[in-house]
Structures are given as C-alpha cells and as structure tokens.
Structure 1
Amino acid sequence: MNIYVCHCSNTFNYGSMMMGENFIRYFNEVTNASHHYYVETEDDINIQRLRTATGIEEIYPTAVNSLFIRPLNKYDYLLSEMRFINLVSDFARKIDLVVVLGGDDFTEDYGWKDPVINALRFSFLKRQGIRVVLLGQTMGPYHSFRVSLMKHILGRLDQIYPRDEITFSYLKDMGLKNISMTDDLALLPLSKQKAREKLKQYITYCPSELIYRYAKEGDRDSWIDFNCFMADIILNRYPDKKLILLAHVLKPPHVDDRVIVKELFNLLNEKYPERILAKTDELYPYEVRDLIQESLFVVSSRMHPVISSIQCVIPAIALSYSSKYWGIIDGRYGLGDYIIDVRYLNYNEMKEKFVELIHKIEAEYEQIEEKMSINNAVAIRSIFNALESIRDL
C-alpha cells in the first residue's frame, strides 16, 4: 500500500518520532508486508532518521499538505464543503491510506480553529475515496457550535482511535460510531531499544521551553527558579546520583528545549560540580530510553519522556500543561497522583507538591513498577488491536 503519514514531520521532537517509527515498524509486522510510507516533512533528514531507527528503507519524503493542490484558505474550505471545488491533488489519488498520528491537535487546548480546519481537510480526502484514520489521538472537549460541527465532520472518517479513556468516552457521548480505543504508540518498544541493567545511577529531568507559557503564574524567571528548586531537592536528597538535563524537543527554535537545558546547566554546575550532565546533542529516541533505564526516576515537563519512563518501568513525575497527560498517565495507568498540573497551581504550591511526590515515589516505588508492568501489557494489546483493525479496513 501507499500510506501517507501526517504529524511526524519533525523527528527532533522525540515524541513525534517515537509514534512515527513505531507505526511504520509495527504496521509492517502486523500486515506481514512492506508498504511505501510517504511522510510529510520540510527536511529530508527526518526521513533518514526514520529509516535508520526502523531499518526500513521504503520511507519517502513528501511536502506538508501535498495531498492538496495548494494551501487552503477560508473560502476554499467553504467551497469544498459545498462541493463547488475539489482541491485534492493528483498525488493524493495514489494514496491508499492516510494515517494521522496522535497528539493533541484535535483538542481546543490551543484554540478551536486548527482542530476544525484539520478535520475538514481530512474529510475532503475521505470524500474522494481515500481512507483516513486518526491514530492515537487526544481529542476534545469542543464547545459552542463546534460540538455539532466536529461530530458531523469527524463522523465521515473511516476510524478514530483515541489513546485514552477520557477521549473515548467523550467522543462516544458525542454520538460518534467510528471510534475504537487504543493507546499511545510510544508505549511500544522501539526498534533499536535494548533492555539495560537498571543501575539507578541517574535522575533524568526533561525541562521544557514551552510549558511556562501555560503555567498559572506564567513568568519565565519564576519557572527557572522552580526548576532550580527541584534540582536542589534532588541533588541534596540523592548525593550519590547525577542529574541529567535532557532536551526532548530540539525543533522548531521557539520551543527548543536546549535553551533551557543550557541555562539550567550554567546555573547548577558551579554549585554541583561534575554532578550535572546536559544532553543537548541530537539523539534517537532509543538513546533517550537508554538513559531513562539507568535512572532512579524521571521528572519531565514534556509528556513523552514520561511515556518512555512508563514503557521502561521507571517511576516519573509529570509536570502537565494540558489534558493529554491525565488521559494516559491517570486514565490508563492510575498514576495521576504523580502529575503536577502547572495550569492550576502557583509556584509555592508546586514546590510543596514536588517534595511530597519525592517521598511518595520512595514509599511506593515497587507498587508503581507493578502498575506500569501490568498496564503496559494491556496497552500493547490494544495498540496491536488497532493496527490489526486498520489492516482490515
């Protein structure tokens, strides 16, 4: 088949890359066949990274929005919806299946226009006979006129696979019939991932250059102060451990986590010489998991390092800025107690909760590991069920 893959255009967001490489690898496995994967990207290096990570060569670059003859404007959406024009490209007619990989692009956490526009674009493809599935999504809630509008548009697609029970229940209550539960693709082992001895010599922190913008009190300087507070707590409590500051998103520039990693390293290194490691080089996700597997626990301002820690059965504290954390970490794994939601707590409250969670991890370490192990088996089965369902479309 010719399969078009959306939302894996940037492999320097390791979360996106994990979902992309796992879909390609495991879909070949489930179908017992090799397919041609056309991945949207603006830089061919992303394709080379996917080929290297998966060992699969049949992965090809295609321009973003190449399924359409031109970038769509608001009049195009209206005219296409009314069937007055058809903007689907000739290239699109060679595609057997469009897979829209997960994320939270169909929530209203960042505004309502993009979810509506994205849903319309994919529904236009479906009207031209191209199969379209949304795989591993966090979606909704929608408000006002978007409730009925999104129900109408999303109902046209072949299948939607929510990655958490909150999303699944919400879409079911909306009245959608084309939904099946799955889990985040990153919960599967990566192609080059190897089991490593759990030496627990590190504590890994993945800071974010994005998250403070959603914090209740905002203010980047206060966010840096909070990060230093967490580092002080960790390094003083565990004098035999080293702290890894790991950048998990390197592109685009306005959310490049290397900025905050370097800043924190400069602030902490003099106080804790030879105990701070800054990982700012370009990695593959399996290399990130190598470090996580050697960590006592993980703290992260990004969601997918927490997903990786769960997959590696390493406890984690998640600093959350959107609903997607709750659906997966709490809904699937019952680990909501280890989420600090920065949208609702001021900095003093976050500091207090962080200290509490350090004690809680120490007291419940084995129970956390057991929860992760049990639910990982359930998640893997649900993901394979979804891939088998897509195969059977």
Structure 2
Amino acid sequence: MRIGLYGIIGVYNFGCEAIVRGACQLIRRLYPEAQIVYFTYSYDYDKKALQDLNLEIRPIELKATFWDKVQHKIKVKLNSERCGFYFDYDSIIDSIDMMFSIGGDIYTIPRFLREQTTYPYYNSLVEFCDRAIDAGKDVIVYGASVGPFGEYQKAIDYYKKNLSRYKMIICREEESVKYLNRLGLRNTCFFPDPAFQVKSLDRTALQPKYIGINLSPLSLKEIYGKHSEETYVNYAKMIDSIFESTHIDILLIPHVISKDEMDNDESFLYKLKVLTKPETQQHIYFADWKGGFLGLKPQLKECYLVISARMHCAVNAIDENIPVIFLSYSQKSVGMCKYVYGSGKWLIDLKEAPDLIVPKILEMLKNRDEIIDCLHNRNSEINRYYEDHITDLEKLLSK
C-alpha cells in the first residue's frame, strides 16, 4: 500500500518538518508494510532536510498560464467549491492508495476574517481531499487543529459537508474535537501532536542563559490582517521591556524560513531587533536554525523559558521540559496550552502580549522549577498515552 502525505508547502516551516517526521512514525506503526510518499512544493530543500527518513519525496510541479491564475482568483473570490489547481492532481491521487492530510492550521479561517459578517472560505486542501475521496481513496487528517469557521453559515456548511466525508479527523488537541462534535461531526478522535514524537537523542538538561522569543509575521497577519509600523514598534518595545525587567539575554528563535516575507520569522525578527533600544540590542542573539526542528532543540534547552507564537516552537521546547508561554492567535495554541498545562494560565492573546507579558514572565521565572517538574510528568503522560492508545487508533481506522 502506498500512503501519501499532502497538505504542506515544505519543511522550511520546522513545525511542518515535525509533522512529517511524526506522521512517518505513526504510519509505520499503523501500516508497517506501507510505502510513504511525501508530496512537496519545496523539493530541493525538503529532500536534504528529510534525507534521514526512509520515504519517497515527490515534487509538485506548478504550471499555470496568466489566464489560469485569473480564473482561479475569480472562483476563489466567489467561494466556488471547485477552483482547480496549478498542478496535475490526478497523477498524485492515482499514485497512492490512501492520503494523510497533514499540517497544523490547515482547516481554519483567520480571526480577522471571522470577525466579518461574510468572508471567503474556500480551501484548496479541502478540494484536493474531496477529489481524492471521489477517486475512492480514504483521507485521514493528522496533526491538525480544525476550526473554528466563524459564524458565517455558508462557511460552516462548506467545511461540515466536506469534512464529513473523511475517514477520520485525528486532532492534536481536544478543543478541536469538541468543536467538530458540536457541529455534528463524529468522524473525529484525539491523538497527541506528531511533534511530541520527534525526540532529540541527547536529553541532558543544559544551563539556561536566555529568554527565548518566537514571533512570526504570519501570526500578526492572522489577527490584524496586515502589518503597520506601529505594530512592529509595539512588539519591539515588548522585547525591550522583557530585557529591562529580567536582565536576561534574549534568544530570538526563527521557526519558519520562507521565501515569502510575510511568513519568514527570521527577517521579521531582524526588523524587530533593529527597532529595539541600542542597549537591548547588545543582549539579543539569534538561534541557528539551519538544523531545522531537531537542530533547535539544544538551543531551546539553553532558555530559562520560551515565549512563542508558533505552536510547534512551543511544543519543541515543552518536549525538552522548558517552560513556555503561548502567544495565542488561533485555536491551536488555546487547545495546546490547555492540553499541556491543564489550563490557560500560561496563555496570552498575542494582541495583549505587549501589555501582559512581563508579569507573566516574572511569575514563570519564580515558579520555574515547579513548572519543569510538571512538564516532565506531563511529557511522560503524553508518551504513555501515545503507546497505550495506538492500538485503539488502529482499530478505529480499520472500521
């Protein structure tokens, strides 16, 4: 059996790298004889980054004329359910027997859109999976947070109708399961985020010397719709206030290195650094991201705590028993914070972070040893859950 992995642009997003790695582990447990085929838009980078995995990597080759793009844009604007693709989707679907739809925020609608009365809701991944199901292939969602879809009934109906056709929606946090159940979907279950299964070989604790910070342009776009100079200044001032209140060096942690400036953490964080005070800049360092998700682990272990907008940056630190403050801009961070800590205590809305972050940091530093003990116990529980319930998941998928 050939099982396809589809749904992400590439593993230059280190969270997507973790999902691919974790998905491969799960599939090999569930379907030991299966051949895994990963389809990517970033073939050259991904082939190198994933060379240690035993999987076939196939490039998605985009081909589109100017008029193809114009027609596609019009269809998306009209919320057409079949807008088409710029690649040969039939050849991908025909080459596999089952599809794992992978990704993190792949089935949701940004907050700034949901605040409107009507908004676009077409999702190319939904269309691709719908076509795969039409071709007789089972589709399983894995590693995702799903929803919310807002109050626009057409958007709700669109997702509800299409997601009901999937064989299973394996959500990474209970909030998504509850939300989908409230919509009437029952083809859902919970299983821990794939990133929790991507372990470093060296689990030795390191002496902390930084406060780690991950901020992303995409997260700000999700809540504001667009960036302004004032937005940059506000978050630069936040970094100033963190250093001035703690006198601990700052480690800026890029977690997505994209060609798209609106999704590139590194260039965004450099802009913020330039806007901080000169005395703060002398105490700001950048994490070396070239080793990807696994390469960041030893650097995360050098942090007293990590403040993270990117959820998989947070999970990466948590898996190393490093305390994390989640900066929330979507469903995923809310659900994951509750899953890890049992409450939303260590969660701050990203919009409110410049005003609320310092007291939260000081409280976390004061209780750091206790929180580390809690994380150590929670990580053990997560690992036990994975092992204890994988047979249940196998039975569920065999129905």
Query: Shorter-chain-normalised TM-score: which range?
Result: 0.7 to 0.9
Residues 155-200 of structure 1: per-residue CA shift (max 9 Å, x gap): 111111111111101111222221111122112233x542132311
5 Å-filtered alignment, 1:232-381, equals: 232-239=240-247, 241-254=248-261, 255-268=263-276, 270-272=278-280, 275-279=283-287, 282-343=290-351, 345=352, 350-381=353-384
Q: Are positions 1:127 and 2:131 aligned together? A: no
Alignment RMSD (CA, Å): 3.3
Task: Indicate conservation of the 8 Å contact 1:268/1:276, yes or no.
Answer: no
Q: How far apart are 1:272 and its partner, in Å?
A: 4.4
**Other structure's SS at 1:44 match:** helix
Unaligned runs of 5+ in 1: 82-86
Distance 1:8 1:219, change over 3 A: closer
Q: Distance in 2 between matches of 1:212 and 1:147?
A: 24
Structure 2 partner of 1:84? none
**Worse-matched range after superposition: 158-167 or 322-331:** 322-331
Task: Indicate conservation of the 8 Å contact 1:47/1:59, yes or no.
Answer: no
The code of the aligned residue for 1:109 comes to: P
5 Å-filtered alignment, 1:20-39, equals: 20-29=20-29, 31-33=31-33, 35-39=35-39
Distance 1:79 1:19, change over 3 A: closer
**Worse-matched range after superposition: 272-281 or 296-305:** 272-281
Q: How far apart are 1:381 and its partner, in Å?
A: 4.3
**Other structure's SS at 1:337 match:** coil
Task: Indicate conservation of the 8 Å contact 2:212/2:303, yes or no.
Answer: yes
Structure 2 partner of 1:231? 239
Structure 1's consecutive aligned runs of 4 or more residues displaced over 6 angstroms after TM superposition are 77-81
The code of the aligned residue for 2:94 comes to: R
Task: Indicate conservation of the 8 Å contact 1:193/1:290, yes or no.
Answer: no
Q: Distance in 1 between matches of 2:126 and 2:8?
A: 17
> Which residue of the other structure, out of 58, 61, 68, is the alignment partner of 1:61?
58
**Other structure's SS at 1:169 match:** helix
Task: Indicate conservation of the 8 Å contact 1:105/1:115, yes or no.
Answer: no
Distance 1:340 1:23, change over 3 A: same
Q: How far apart are 1:64 and its partner, in Å?
A: 6.4
**Worse-matched range after superposition: 262-271 or 11-20:** 262-271
Q: How far apart are 1:383 and its partner, in Å?
A: 4.5
Q: Distance in 1 between matches of 2:9 and 2:391?
A: 21
Q: Distance in 1 between matches of 2:121 and 2:224?
A: 24
How many residues of Structure 1 are paired with residues of Structure 2 in the alignment? 374
Distance 1:14 1:352, change over 3 A: same
Structure 1 partner of 2:212? 204
Q: How far apart are 1:390 and its partner, in Å?
A: 5.3
Structure 2 partner of 1:6? 6
Residues 248-294 of structure 1: per-residue CA shift (max 9 Å, x gap): 11103222112222233444584147532123653311111111112
Structure 2 partner of 1:104? 105
The code of the aligned residue for 1:213 comes to: K
Q: Distance in 2 between matches of 1:157 and 1:217?
A: 31
TM-score w.r.t. the length of structure 2 is 0.81
Residues 50-96 of structure 1: per-residue CA shift (max 9 Å, x gap): 12xxx224331231689xxx999659x98989xxxxx9624422312
Q: Distance in 2 between matches of 1:351 and 1:265?
A: 15
Distance 1:335 1:311, change over 3 A: farther
Q: How far apart are 1:19 and its partner, in Å?
A: 0.8
Q: Distance in 2 between matches of 1:269 and 1:229?
A: 8
Task: Indicate conservation of the 8 Å contact 2:329/2:349, yes or no.
Answer: yes
The code of the aligned residue for 1:141 comes to: P
Q: Distance in 1 between matches of 2:43 and 2:337?
A: 32
Q: Are positions 1:389 and 2:393 aligned together? A: yes
**Worse-matched range after superposition: 113-122 or 124-133:** 113-122
Task: Indicate conservation of the 8 Å contact 1:126/1:156, yes or no.
Answer: yes
Task: Indicate conservation of the 8 Å contact 1:196/1:294, yes or no.
Answer: no
Distance 1:267 1:229, change over 3 A: closer
Q: How far apart are 1:333 and its partner, in Å?
A: 2.7
**Other structure's SS at 2:188 match:** coil
**Other structure's SS at 1:271 match:** helix
Unaligned runs of 5+ in 2: 114-118
Structure 2 partner of 1:18? 18
Task: Indicate conservation of the 8 Å contact 2:321/2:375, yes or no.
Answer: yes
Task: Indicate conservation of the 8 Å contact 2:245/2:358, yes or no.
Answer: no
Q: Distance in 2 between matches of 1:172 and 1:57?
A: 36
Percentage identity across aligned positions? 19
Q: How far apart are 1:328 and its partner, in Å?
A: 1.1
